[in-house]
Amino acid sequence: MSGAVRVRFAPSPTGYLHVGGARTAFFNWLFVRSEGGSFILRIEDTDVARSTQESLQAILESMRWLGMDWDEGPGKDGAAGPYFQSQRMEKYREFSSRLLASGHAYRCFCTREELEDRRAASLAEKGALKYDGRCERLSPEEVLSLEAGGRPCVVRFRVRSGVTSWQDEVKGRIEFSNSELDDFIITRSNGTPTYNFAAVVDDVTMQITHVIRGDEHISNTPRQILLYEALGEALPVFAHLPMILGPDGTKLSKRHGAVAISHYERQGFLPEAMANFLALLGWAYDGKREIFTREELVRKFSLERVSSNPSVFDQDKLIWMNGQYMRELPSSRRHEMVRRFLREEEGMNDVDTRGDWIDRIVDVVGDRMKVASQITELAGFFFEDRVRYDEKARELLLSGAGTSELLLKVAGRLESLKDYGAVSIEEAIRGLAGEMGLKAGELIHPARAALTGKTTSPGIFDVMTLLGRERCLSRLRDAADFAASERAS
């Protein structure tokens, strides 16, 4: 096994999988699939109070949806398991004892209150805020007697003096002066390991070769490197991925709106498009090309092409990209996506009892729909009982003196049609326009406003067909009333 690439994604199950986490997971996945090796999914659930089964399931579900399969992890046992930190306590205890025995760690009996008092005093004198090392100086006898007295203690790592540095695959050389780090806690008084310690024990015992994660962890890395050194273990390669920013230039977060991958799934985004989009959050091929199949991404991905600069999460671009994938889909899949969206997100309960009506609407909307959820904005008027006129439609209906009459004429013509279908409707409306000495548009535009409440819509004859005669007539007449009464008042 030595020499084989092993990477890990290590989410804490305290929430859903968000865009940033998914990007980290995907870069790990792309890297290992392009290099060959194993992708390990490790669940960092030592925070028992905040870890939940629901969020674990949500994370796994989003990973599967994005097509990121793992070789070892939940549901996939391997030699390096278990893959839940809560089941690895024995290992953390063992490594903690090792560091205590080698003198790289020591027990600290300072209580929270003592630490706070000393910190406040130090602050008042403009001194350092880090741990002052008091327990480092306890004699073995003092330690024994404090322990015998049952006083709770934590285990602290003894940070050596000097400098800690590494060659980051993405960020280049990074250096920290150890004087900036205090003797950090590796085991809490209740026996649980802290993040930095558990992560290193796991990365060592799981034989992780490349640690690829968000750059918010850069400040943890020197502590982790010191732990590797103390344990006499070879360092993995570190690659810290650039931050993802929201459109306002601050770190992407809930404040910017939807960041949960499951939200995008529910809105009808395609996993292929989402994955393609995530790949471009920090990685680029030639700076021009943006659409890649998954196989191409695997073939072309490399850490060298990951930028060290932040990338911006541009939702419009995601929508555009999704549209590129949508247009390639067979119509049956588009139908199914819209049906699912209307059923599950809009609570429409007659989606499946109306024959192919919805599918035909999806077809006439065509490529304007870049995401399934856009069906409501592009074709919501089909599903609503009453039309609401938007501002432009209102203006149009109220602009001409004869609009009311025109709409009534259109209604009359539709009412008298024997065969109510797109072709005969078109003939009838064009015929009517000719008889009245008008251009077809002069009838179509107000009719569109009357039927859809908007000034743009799918082809009007398709709209008339799919709305059905009765609804068309009543909408045209309502709009005629509206145009007449509003003008009168």
Active site residue 317: no
Q: Closest separation between CB of residue 12 and ligand GLU, Å?
A: 4
How many beta carbons lie within 10 A of that of residue 286, not counting itself?
Answer: 7
Task: Match 């996945």 to its residue by tokens.
Answer: 29
Specify the residue, 19 or 199, whose C-beta has the smaller distance to ligand GLU: 199
8 A C-beta contact, residue 274 and residue 245? no
Choose the stretch contacting ligand GLU; rule: CB under 6 A; options: 6-14, 126-134, 340-348, 362-370: 6-14
Question: CA-CA distance, 269 to 318, in Å (whole number)?
Answer: 9
Question: Hey, which residues between 416 and 445 contact ligand GLU (CB under 6 A)?
Answer: none
Specify the residue, 59 or 362, whose C-beta has the smaller distance to ligand GLU: 59
Contact partners, residue 123, CB within 8 Å, separation at least 6: 129
Specify the residue, 183 or 203, whose C-beta has the smaller distance to ligand GLU: 203
The DSSP letter of residue 194 is P
Q: Closest separation between CB of residue 43 and ligand GLU, Å?
A: 9
Specify the residue, 63 or 479, whose C-beta has the smaller distance to ligand GLU: 63
Angle at 167 between CA 68 and CA 237, to 5 degrees: 35
Specify the residue, 12 or 403, whose C-beta has the smaller distance to ligand GLU: 12
Q: Closest separation between CB of residue 265 and ligand GLU, Å?
A: 21
First to last CA, the chain: 84
Does position 217 interact with ligand GLU (CB under 6 A)? The reply is yes
Choose the stretch contacting ligand GLU; rule: CB under 6 A; options: 7-15, 172-180, 284-292, 419-427: 7-15
8 A C-beta contact, residue 186 and residue 156? yes
Q: Closest separation between CB of residue 10 and ligand GLU, Å?
A: 4
Does position 472 interact with ligand GLU (CB under 6 A)? The reply is no
Which secondary structure element, helix H or strand E, spans residue 8, and what is its range?
strand 5-9
Specify the residue, 88 or 370, whose C-beta has the smaller distance to ligand GLU: 88
Among 18, 33, 156, 213, binds ligand GLU (CB under 6 A): 213
The 161-200 contact track toward ligand GLU, x by CB under 6 A, reads --------------------------------------x-
Does position 12 interact with ligand GLU (CB under 6 A)? The reply is yes
8 A C-beta contact, residue 219 and residue 168? no
Q: Closest separation between CB of residue 138 and ligand GLU, Å?
A: 32
Angle at 193 between CA 52 and CA 197, to 5 degrees: 115
Does position 282 interact with ligand GLU (CB under 6 A)? The reply is no
Q: What is the DSSP string of 386-452?
A: S----HHHHHHHHHSTTHHHHHHHHHHHHHH-SS-SHHHHHHHHHHHHHHHT--HHHHHHHHHHHHH
Q: Given 76, 91, 126, 254, which residue is catalytic?
A: 254
Question: CA-CA distance, 372 to 267, in Å (whole number)?
Answer: 6
Does position 373 interact with ligand GLU (CB under 6 A)? The reply is no
3-state SS, residue 461: helix
Q: Closest separation between CB of residue 210 and ligand GLU, Å?
A: 11
Choose the stretch contacting ligand GLU; rule: CB under 6 A; options: 10-18, 33-41, 70-78, 178-186: 10-18
Rg of the chain taking only CA atoms, in angstroms: 32
Question: CA-CA distance, 375 to 371, in Å (whole number)?
Answer: 8
| Distance set, CA 449 to CA 53, 307, 327, 423, 445 (Å) | 50, 49, 28, 21, 6
* Backbone region of residue 244 per phi and psi (left: phi > 0; alpha: psi in -120 to 50; beta: other values): beta
Q: Closest separation between CB of residue 211 and ligand GLU, Å?
A: 6
The 34-63 contact track toward ligand GLU, x by CB under 6 A, reads ----------x-------------------
Q: Closest separation between CB of residue 282 and ligand GLU, Å?
A: 15
Helices 391-399/440-452 angle, 10° precision: 130
Q: Closest separation between CB of residue 217 and ligand GLU, Å?
A: 6
Q: Which of 323, 347, 314 is nearest to 270 (CA)?
A: 323
Specify the residue, 208 or 318, whose C-beta has the smaller distance to ligand GLU: 208
Q: Which of 332, 283, 298 is nearest to 169 (CA)?
A: 283
Does position 11 interact with ligand GLU (CB under 6 A)? The reply is yes
Choose the stretch contacting ligand GLU; rule: CB under 6 A; options: 9-17, 49-57, 299-307, 313-321: 9-17
Q: 3-state SS of 216-280?
A: HHCCCHHHHHHHHHHHCCCCCEEEEECCEECCCCCECCHHHCCCEHHHHHHCCCCHHHHHHHHHC
Question: CA-CA distance, 435 to 431, in Å (whole number)?
Answer: 6
Specify the residue, 11 or 193, whose C-beta has the smaller distance to ligand GLU: 11
Does position 10 interact with ligand GLU (CB under 6 A)? The reply is yes
**How many residues line the site for ligand GLU (CB under 6 A)?**
7
Specify the residue, 192 or 324, whose C-beta has the smaller distance to ligand GLU: 192
Catalytically active residues are 254
Residues lying near ligand GLU in the complex (CB under 6 A) are found at: 10-12, 44, 199, 213, 217
